Chains A and B, each alone.
Chain A
Amino acid sequence: MSRIKEKFNQLKSKKETALISYIMAGYPSEKITLAAVRGLIQGGSDIIELGFPFSDPIADGPTIQMASTESLNNGTKIENFFTIVKKIRKESNIPLVLMTYTNILYNQTYLKFISRAKQAGIDGLILPDMAIEESKEYVKAAKKIGMDTIFLVSPNTEKDRLKQIIKSTSGFLYMVAVFGTTGVQTKIHKYTLDALKNTKYAAKGKIPVGVGFGVSTEKDVQKYVSSGADAVIVGSANIKIIENTPTNKVQTRIATFTKRLKNKTR
């Protein structure tokens, strides 16, 4: 069983919702990334999503764009990313998900990249520009290696398409909460809650549904938890804390923030 699946099973028996926390690898440095990861684990995050920067992140808003650019300017390469993952693996068995863009995998071939990621300790992949129509080769390679493929659905995804996406998804299904890019703060719309209901219905309890994009406060987390989400995903809010915190305090501040959010999922 994959680490992700195992985690969701554990949480289910405790009647808890998963808190998934995103940070960008190499922002602002490898050292701080590791400190932030430790903070997330301390705070009780259930799954960590590590971003690998791409030069052209079309699904990301200003905060993650900034972190991507900084990370690339700091010289973050794939090798550094896998080094970070291996270091985390020495300290923790927490499920690790890689979020990046299709070209990063395509460049090395899906099979080669995914097997390297698996070896380093990655459990699942999120590619916001990987449409279901183009995913055959990618899903095949991931299946072969035993890597979870986490697809995204949107509030405007139609029923038949939703079914098709669920078929190719493993680990969890990532529901984008808003029409927009990552990190844009907004109130929680009725259309999002309706979409969550429909997505949960289509998932039939076979695959957990996580809600992300614009989720940043305890109130947001509480609302999605009470609306039936199996996981909530917080990203840009973490990046903002890292951006505005002296480096020696990143770990404790991230831990405090994460703990507050995690409390709302219990």
Chain B
Amino acid sequence: MKIGIPKDGRFGEFGGKYIPETLAPAIEELEKNYLKIRNDKNFKKELGRLLIDYAGRPTPIYFARNLTKTIGGAKIYLKREDLLHGGAHKINNTLGQALLAKRMGKKRIIAETGAGQHGVATAMACASLGLKAEIYMGYVDTLRQKQNVFRMELLGAKVHAVKSGSKTLKDAINEAMRDWITNVDSTYYLLGSAVGPHPYPLMVRDFQAVIGVEIKKQMKKIPNAVIACVGGGSNAIGTFYPLIDTNAKIIGIEAGGKGVKTKLHSAPLTAGKKGVLHGMMTYLMQDKDGQISETHSISAGLDYPGVGPEHAFLKDENRVEYKAVTDDEVIDAFLILTRTEGIIPALESAHAIAHAIKISKKMKKTESIVVTLSGRGDKDIDIVKEYLAKNVKNKRKI
């Protein structure tokens, strides 16, 4: 079940490279270069140094004593990716890919972003490595994540607000791909999640696998359960991949929005169907004609109708269990963690916390759960404030 380099770019039947012909030479060049540096000692050394000195690795594993006591079940540990430079796991991948781009002699970097975390992490990596960054962001997302737009601009990146389609992450990816088709020679497309045509899902997983590798080292014994949130699925695959061949129960949490029985969610693994989008075959949210559905999530970072092909594979192999939690449950979890531990999680990460709370109650006190806290929640406080103002029920909790 553990696939090193996917044959023909496929994890089982999932993945591949469904791309316009103009991108074929670029994808081939990327694959060749990536496979070459993948085992290059100097590249590893340079990236390792940056991850330590610049990004702040390794991140701690924190035993959430108060949260555990409040819930009263299994011990909950948090993998603190929120403490990384930039406030999220995204920097693990952007440093790796920006370094690769530099080695390939590319000077112009483009990227998409949902909540803005990948855009910020790209802008940071590019500033530090002397590269020019342009970021595509859905217009709706630029409104709900204004602060991140300004952060990117401060860091020297140019931000393009995308007004086509649903004006969110999927449209930002469409527009980045159109830019890449137009400027294929000069430009490196720095994709932020474990999605897209091969070799992106492989590359992003490799760069994020540092999360799971550290978890394995830091925990005295293999945890009984490991949980991470899944949008495109980069922090999740980074957490899961090194643990696939252990006996840990692995759970990925999708954005259930207003409920997976409504149309307002972003949970393709829970309620989607196989299809082709953004260069990959995977589970997608789509209507019966194959049009991609508009998604909903309280967290912009999970608001995506597809999912990385390796997750689709791990679901079908029954190695990873994928569940969804609702916006309401996410807000509850956000408030509980904030109050008990003094840690404000990103709304994306709060999805994983919500599920940990659910299952820890049913587990023994001697058992352990590791939750990847993929990012910090400063960017989300306005959304939470607005949500609480509208939902009196939750407001009583503070």
Residue numbers in A under 8 Å from B171 (CB-CB): 56
Q: Are A129 and B170 in contact (CB under 8 A)?
A: no
Q: Are B183 and A179 in contact (CB under 8 A)?
A: yes
Provided the pairs A179-B182, A181-B181 are in contact, do residues A103 and B286 lie with their beta carbons within 8 angstroms?
yes
| Interface membership of B281, Cβ < 8 A | yes
| Interface membership of A130, Cβ < 8 A | yes
Residue numbers in B under 8 Å from A134 (CB-CB): 16-18, 281
From B24, B181, B182, B290, A107 is in contact (CB under 8 Å) with B290
| Interface membership of B284, Cβ < 8 A | yes
Q: Are B21 and A56 in contact (CB under 8 A)?
A: no
Question: Which residue on chain A has the smallest CB distance to residue B20?
Answer: A59
| Interface membership of B247, Cβ < 8 A | no
Question: Which residue on chain A has the smallest CB distance to residue B197?
Answer: A131
A-B contact count (CB 8 A): 108
B283 to chain A, nearest CB (A): 12
Question: Which residue on chain A has the smallest CB distance to residue B8?
Answer: A133
Residue numbers in B under 8 Å from A57 (CB-CB): 174
From A72, A157, A176, B291 is in contact (CB under 8 Å) with A72
Query: Interface majority SS on B: helix, strand, loop or mixed?
Result: mixed
Complex Cα–Cα for A72 and B294 (A): 13
B145 to chain A, nearest CB (A): 22
| Interface membership of B178, Cβ < 8 A | yes
Complex Cα–Cα for A259 and B107 (A): 46
User: Range of interface residues on chain B?
Assistant: 35 or more
Which stretch of B272-280, B318-326, B374-382 is in the interface? B272-280
Interface size for A (C-beta < 8 A) is 40
| Interface membership of A58, Cβ < 8 A | yes
Residue numbers in B under 8 Å from A129 (CB-CB): 18-20, 276, 279
Q: Are B25 and A156 in contact (CB under 8 A)?
A: yes
A55 to chain B, nearest CB (A): 4
Complex Cα–Cα for A161 and B26 (A): 13
Question: Which residue on chain A has the smallest CB distance to residue B290?
Answer: A107
Provided the pairs A55-B292, A58-B174 are in contact, do residues A106 and B165 lie with their beta carbons within 8 angstroms?
no
A-B contact pairs, 8 of them (CB 8 A): A58-B178, A58-B181, A101-B276, A103-B276, A106-B275, A107-B275, A131-B19, A184-B182
B→A interface (CB under 8 Å):
8-9, 16-22, 24-25, 164-165, 170-171, 174, 177-178, 181-185, 273-279, 281, 284, 286, 288-292
A→B interface (CB under 8 Å):
54-59, 61, 65, 69, 72, 77-78, 101-108, 128-131, 133-134, 151-154, 156-158, 161, 165, 176, 179-181, 184
